[in-house]
A = this chain, B = another copy of it.
Amino acid sequence: MSIETIIGKTVSRWMEGKGDFSDVVISSRIRLARNLEGYPFPNVLSESVAGEVITAVQDAVAKISHEPGPLEFFNLASLSALERFILVEKHLISPIHAESPVGRSVLLKEDQSVSIMVNEEDHLRIQCILPGLNLNDAWSFASQIDDLLEDTLNISYSEILGYLTACPTNVGTGLRASAMVHLPGLVLTHQVNLVLGLLPQLGLAVRGLYGEGSEIIGNLFQVSNQVTIGKTEEDILSNISAVVSQIVDREREARQAMLSEAKDQLEDKVWRAFGTLANARMMPAHEALTLLSDLRLGMDLGIITCPQPEVYNELIVITSPAYLQYLTGREMSAAALDVERAKLIRSRLCL
């Protein structure tokens, strides 16, 4: 399996089919931070020792024969900058991992549901993404991989603190569970700050589409746990699942309130978004995400029945700058990218 195969596959597993609450929850992600005993943390790792860590992980992964199925190894430094940034857009690696590729690598499952970053902030970042609200299955997958790796690798673990990590905020379970939620109803009814403002008190954080420090666009929010220590994995998962399902309820209420109180305005918003997406000849990335959000809302409320939600999931990834550059096979100006983005969106919406 080449990087071209991974990248060329526009539809990742989390974009397909429907999970629970998939009218609001786009995807669920689990990330486990792990480190190998006897090696410094990656931020102080020389290139040669980083290579030793990578080799140890590769050997351990090679011994995994059954589930989660084959994981392909990629040395980040051997990928082009464009390829690395596409992996970021596909949520398979972090921006930090893409920006400094030397001594770093990633292991990927072909359906893009599993990725393992090696030598990011920690030696191992095991990640699993699934569609809808399904943190438990994502956790099972990630945990299974973790167990299989621990059969071979000597993982830093303290009986008192739990898993040891480069940053104290990950110590303990090393678990970050997050759900990407689409909240146009709460945004349009000006309730989003009220609802999401309660999350810090519940030990949860909110971020944008591309994680920490990223802007909120397209009404997409990532809700994740802040605290990784002092609780079991099960407690962390049940807390975030409960909160996310509360958010889903609020979002659905907001949507229904708009449908009953401002149906014309809502239908207008949805159809205008469709009309613009299906006809524009230049489409900036930010506007695309905003209009796709309106369109997705219309799909979820049955205002517009074609195209399907899967098209939305695919488009929010493949219309990102790096992926678009890859699809067209050449370096482009921002204006030329906008033309290609518009063309790609039209091809998906106008069948």
**Residues of chain B within 8 A of A275, CB atoms compared:** 274-280
Cβ of B281 and Cβ of A335 under 8 Å apart? no
A199 CB–B CB distance under 8 Å: no
Q: How far is the CA of A193 from the CA of B335 in the complex (A)?
A: 29
Picked from B271, B276, B335, the residue with its CB within 8 Å of the CB of A272 is B276
Cβ of A272 and Cβ of B279 under 8 Å apart? yes
Q: How far is the CA of A152 from the CA of B240 in the complex (A)?
A: 91
* Most B CB within 10 A of own CB, among A276, A335, A338, A342: A276
A100 CB–B CB distance under 8 Å: no
Q: How far is the CA of A71 from the CA of B261 in the complex (A)?
A: 50
Q: How far is the CA of A339 from the CA of B262 in the complex (A)?
A: 12
Cβ of B282 and Cβ of A265 under 8 Å apart? yes
Residues 303-337 of A, flagged 1 when their CB comes within 8 A of B and 0 if not, give 00000000000000000000000000000000100
A89 CB–B CB distance under 8 Å: no
Q: For the complex, count residues of A whose C-beta is within 8 A of B.
A: 19
Give the shortest distance, in Å, between A268 (CB) and chain B (any CB): 4
**Residues of chain B within 8 A of A335, CB atoms compared:** 264
Nearest chain-B residue to A346 (Cβ)? B271
A83 CB–B CB distance under 8 Å: no
A122 CB–B CB distance under 8 Å: no
A110 CB–B CB distance under 8 Å: no
A267 CB–B CB distance under 8 Å: yes
Picked from B268, B271, B279, the residue with its CB within 8 Å of the CB of A271 is B279
Q: How far is the CA of A279 from the CA of B303 in the complex (A)?
A: 12
Cβ of A280 and Cβ of B268 under 8 Å apart? yes
**Residues of chain B within 8 A of A272, CB atoms compared:** 276, 279-281
Picked from B264, B278, B280, the residue with its CB within 8 Å of the CB of A339 is B264
State which residues 240-278 of A face B: CB under 8 Å.
264-265, 267-268, 271-272, 274-278
**Residues of chain B within 8 A of A265, CB atoms compared:** 282
**Residues of chain B within 8 A of A279, CB atoms compared:** 271-272, 274-275, 278
Nearest chain-B residue to A266 (Cβ)? B281
Nearest chain-B residue to A336 (Cβ)? B264
Give the shortest distance, in Å, between A273 (CB) and chain B (any CB): 9
Give the shortest distance, in Å, between A285 (CB) and chain B (any CB): 15
Q: How far is the CA of A276 from the CA of B342 in the complex (A)?
A: 15
**Residues of chain B within 8 A of A339, CB atoms compared:** 264
Q: How far is the CA of A199 from the CA of B272 in the complex (A)?
A: 39
Residues 209-230 of A, flagged 1 when their CB comes within 8 A of B and 0 if not, give 0000000000000000000000
Give the shortest distance, in Å, between A303 (CB) and chain B (any CB): 9
23 A-B pairs (CB sep. < 8 Å): A264-B282, A264-B335, A264-B338, A264-B339, A265-B282, A268-B280, A268-B281, A268-B342, A271-B279, A271-B280, A271-B281, A272-B279, A272-B280, A272-B281, A274-B279, A275-B275, A275-B276, A275-B277, A275-B278, A275-B279, A275-B280, A276-B276, A278-B279
Known interface pairs A264-B281, A271-B280; 5 further A-B residue pairs with C-beta atoms within 8 A, sorted by A's residue number: A264-B282, A267-B281, A268-B282, A275-B275, A276-B276
Ranked nearest first, the 3 interchain pairs of A and B with the lowest CB-CB distance are A275-B279, A275-B275, A268-B281
